[in-house]
Amino acid sequence: MVVNCPSNVPLDTKHLGNKSVCLSVCIIVQEEARSTITTMLDQLQFGRAEPVVRVNSVGSGLAEEDLRVTLSAKTLPKSLMLPKVEDVDHIRWVNPRNLLLSDH
């Protein structure tokens, strides 16, 4: 089970149990959302829950910065969610080679 939490909403991790927590980069408050996600990853105690980050779609032009900021956190998410995949090139775009960032 995945608990979806937009990054502009406070998250209480006390009752998560084994659920995965999906932290979403909200397009409306994008810069704040990215900052909040890295703070949440670094500071919250997820216990047995697994943090997952949902980035914006590759086609939006926002995914690269979402990934750069998310992968700069000291505590990395267990997985990434890539929405609105329209073709195989979107999957190819998010591969280990592309995720290796010079400042990480």
Mean pLDDT, rounded, for 90-101: 69
The pLDDT of residue 16 is above 80 = no
Domains of the chain (ranges; CATH) run 2-99 (3.20.20.60)
Note the pLDDT of residue 102: 40
Whole-structure pTM value: 0.72
The pLDDT of residue 12 is above 80 = no
- Residue 77, Cα to own-chain centre: how many angstroms? 7
The pLDDT of residue 100 is above 70 = no
Note the pLDDT of residue 25: 64
